[in-house]
Amino acid sequence: MSETPIPDGRNTRWAAHRRKRRNDLIRSARAAVHIIGPDVSMEEIASHAGTSKSVFYRYFEDKKGLQQAVAQASIDFMESELKKAGKAAPSAQDGLFTMVLAYLRLANSSVNVYNFSTAIPTGMAIFRENMARFLQRSVEHVLPQYKSEQGGSNRAYYWAIAAVGFVRAAGEEWITTQRNPNRLSAEELAQSISDWLLMGLDSSGITIHKTQEH
């Protein structure tokens, strides 16, 4: 009988060190993007981090690799925050509003990082799919008639896909108007967006003000 190999303590510590160092570099790069802008160079990122470009190349190979890492970290954080906001809400209506509001606030907190992160198609495609599935499950819970008996794509899924695209399009336009004195607040826009989206579900005369279960 073969024995399970005992992990080498030095290798384990080295792997942990590399993960920590990589995460530190991602945070430093994100900070540089926030201050300098989405077109920041590797030289500027390295200078901001107080290290050399070669260190970043060692961990990420090139700028594209670094951008993918920063984008994935930002998108993962955004997805986590939106889901927490939705699950903490007392009703489906409140959940949609709080999720839209959280998205707007996160995007607006650093437009540079948002633009830098969303420039990676793969990461945004995964985010879009994950958020759509989350919204789909919420809709199916409150409106079971929207659920497909065959288990395939249904009206709830297509509504969710449309909702994610709608929110993103409106949000990306909104974050470009920070200096507009007549700009809607995040709360005002979130309320309008959630109302518009809910009208589609309520068009059949079904109320969705029921409390969610998680």
Confidence tier at 72 by pLDDT (50, 70, 90)? confident
Sequence letter at residue 162? A
Domain that residue 197 falls in = 74-214
By the 10 Å C-beta count (0-12 exposed, 13-18 middle, 19+ buried), 63 is classed as: middle
Which of 61, 85, 110 is the last residue before a domain boundary? 61
By the 10 Å C-beta count (0-12 exposed, 13-18 middle, 19+ buried), 56 is classed as: buried
Q: Are residues 55 and 84 in the same domain?
A: no
Q: What share of the chain is helix, strand, coil (3-state, %, to 5)?
A: 75, 0, 25
Q: Please measure the distance between the N-terminal and C-terminal CA atoms of the chain and give it in whole angstroms.
A: 45
- 3 state SS of 91: strand
Is the pTM value of this prediction over 0.85?
no
- The pair of structure tokens assigned to 156 is 């709830």
Confidence tier at 210 by pLDDT (50, 70, 90)? very low
Helix (H) or strand (E) segment spanning residue 35: helix 9-36
Q: Per the domain annotation, does 10 fall within a domain?
A: yes
Q: How many residues does the chain have?
A: 214
Report the number of distinct structural domains present in the chain. Answer: 2
Q: Per the domain annotation, does 66 fall within a domain?
A: no
pLDDT at 37: 95
Q: Are residues 132 and 27 in the same domain?
A: no
pLDDT per position as a tens digit, 136-176 = 887 777 666 666 554 555 778 888 899 999 999 999 999 99
- The pair of structure tokens assigned to 11 is 């290798």
Calculate mean pLDDT across residues 190-205. Answer: 80
Q: Are residues 82 and 172 in the same domain?
A: yes
Q: Are residues 49 and 117 in the same domain?
A: no
Calculate mean pLDDT across residues 92-115. Answer: 91
Phi–psi pair at 148, nearest 5 degrees: -80, 135
Q: Are residues 93 and 185 in the same domain?
A: yes
pLDDT per position as a tens digit, 24-34 = 999 999 999 99
Confidence tier at 212 by pLDDT (50, 70, 90)? very low
Confidence tier at 12 by pLDDT (50, 70, 90)? confident
Q: Are residues 98 and 154 in the same domain?
A: yes
Range from 16-25, 127-136, 158-167, 203-212 carrying the lowest mean pLDDT: 203-212
Helix (H) or strand (E) segment spanning residue 213: none
Which of 61, 83, 110 is the last residue before a domain boundary? 61
pLDDT at 148: 56
- 3 state SS of 210: coil
Q: Of the candidates 19, 25, 127, 35, which has an alpha carbon nearest to the alpha carbon of residue 82?
A: 127
Confidence tier at 207 by pLDDT (50, 70, 90)? very low
Q: Are residues 56 and 78 in the same domain?
A: no
Q: Are 23 and 70 in contact (CB under 8 A)?
A: no
Radius of gyration of the chain (CA): 21
Q: Per the domain annotation, does 205 fall within a domain?
A: yes
